[in-house]
Structure 1
Amino acid sequence: MTETLAAGTSTGTDEVPAIRLRKLTKVFGDTVAVNAVDLDIRHGEFFSMLGPSGSGKTTVLRLIAGFELPTSGTIELEGKDVTAKAPFQRDVNTVFQDYALFPHMSLVDNVAYGLRVRGMPGNQRRERAREALDRVQLGKFVGRKPAQLSGGQRQRVALARALVVEPKVLLLDEPLGALDLKLRQQMQVELKELQRSLGITFIFVTHDQEEALTMSDRIGVFNNGSIEQIGTAHEIYERPGDIFVANFVGTSNIFDAGQAQSVYGRAEPLCIRPERLRVAWAGEPERRAGVTSRSGSVTSFVYVGHATQVRVQLDGGPAVVALVPEKLPGSDAELVNRPVTVSWDDDAVVWLPAHGS
Structure 2
Amino acid sequence: MSETAQSPTAAPITAPAEVPAIRLRKLVKTFGDVNAVDGVDLDIRQGEFFSMLGPSGSGKTTVLRMIAGFELPSSGTIELDGADVSTKAPFERDVNTVFQDYALFPHMSLIDNVAYGLRVRGMGKNERRERAAQALERVQLGKFVARRPAQLSGGQRQRVALARALVVEPKVLLLDEPLGALDLKLRQQMQIELKELQRSLGITFIFVTHDQEEALTMSDRIGVFSNGRIAQTGSAHEIYRSPQTAFVANFVGTSNILTAGIGGTASGPGASFVVRPERLHLNWEATAHDAGHLTPGARVLAGRVTSAVYVGHATQVHVELDAGPTVIALVHGDVPDTDALKGHRVTVAWAEHDAVWLPDAA
**Shared fold, TM over 0.5:** yes
For residues 195-250 of structure 1, what are the alpha-carbon distances to aligned partners after superposition, in whole Å with 9 as ceiling and x for unaligned? 00000000000000000000000000000000000000000000001100000000
Question: Does the CA-based 8 Å contact 1:260-1:268 persist in structure 2?
Answer: no
Matched, 1:299 2:306: yes
Change in Cα spacing, 1:221 to 1:77, as seen in structure 2 (3 Å) is same
Matched residues in 2 for 1:346 and 1:13: separation? 42
**Where do residues 234-245 of structure 1 align in structure 2 (5 Å cutoff)?**
234-245=237-248
Q: 2:147 matched to which residue of 1?
A: 144
**Where do residues 88-99 of structure 1 align in structure 2 (5 Å cutoff)?**
88-99=91-102
Partner residue of 2:357 out of 328, 344, 351:
351
Question: Does the CA-based 8 Å contact 1:290-1:347 persist in structure 2?
Answer: no
Shift of 1:261: 8.9
For residues 240-273 of structure 1, what are the alpha-carbon distances to aligned partners after superposition, in whole Å with 9 as ceiling and x for unaligned? 011000000000001145x649744556111100
Q: 2:6 matched to which residue of 1?
A: none
Q: 2:67 matched to which residue of 1?
A: 64
For residues 276-309 of structure 1, what are the alpha-carbon distances to aligned partners after superposition, in whole Å with 9 as ceiling and x for unaligned? 0000100232175231101111110011111101
Residue identity (%): 71
Matched residues in 2 for 1:195 and 1:338: separation? 49
Question: Does the CA-based 8 Å contact 1:260-1:270 persist in structure 2?
Answer: no
Matched residues in 1 for 2:184 and 2:244: separation? 29
Matched residues in 1 for 2:338 and 2:133: separation? 57
Number of residues paired by the alignment? 343
Structure 1 range deviating more: 49-58 or 279-288:
279-288
For residues 96-150 of structure 1, what are the alpha-carbon distances to aligned partners after superposition, in whole Å with 9 as ceiling and x for unaligned? 0011100000000000000000000000000000000000000000000000000
Q: In structure 2, what residue type is equivalent to 1:194? A: L
**Where do residues 1-357 of structure 1 align in structure 2 (5 Å cutoff)?**
14-256=17-259, 260=262, 263-265=265-267, 268-284=271-287, 285-286=290-291, 288-328=295-335, 330-354=336-360
Matched residues in 1 for 2:80 and 2:243: separation? 29
Shift of 1:13: 6.6
Structure 2: 5+ residue stretches without partners: 1-14
Structure 1: 5+ residue stretches without partners: 1-11
Matched residues in 1 for 2:61 and 2:95: separation? 15
Shift of 1:318: 1.2
Question: Does the CA-based 8 Å contact 1:155-1:175 persist in structure 2?
Answer: yes
For residues 59-93 of structure 1, what are the alpha-carbon distances to aligned partners after superposition, in whole Å with 9 as ceiling and x for unaligned? 00000000000000000000000001000000000
* TM-score after normalising by structure 1: 0.93
3-state SS of 2:197 partner: helix
Q: What is the RMSD computed on CA atoms of the aligned residues?
A: 1.5
Higher-Rg structure is 2
Q: In structure 1, what residue type is equivalent to 2:222? A: I
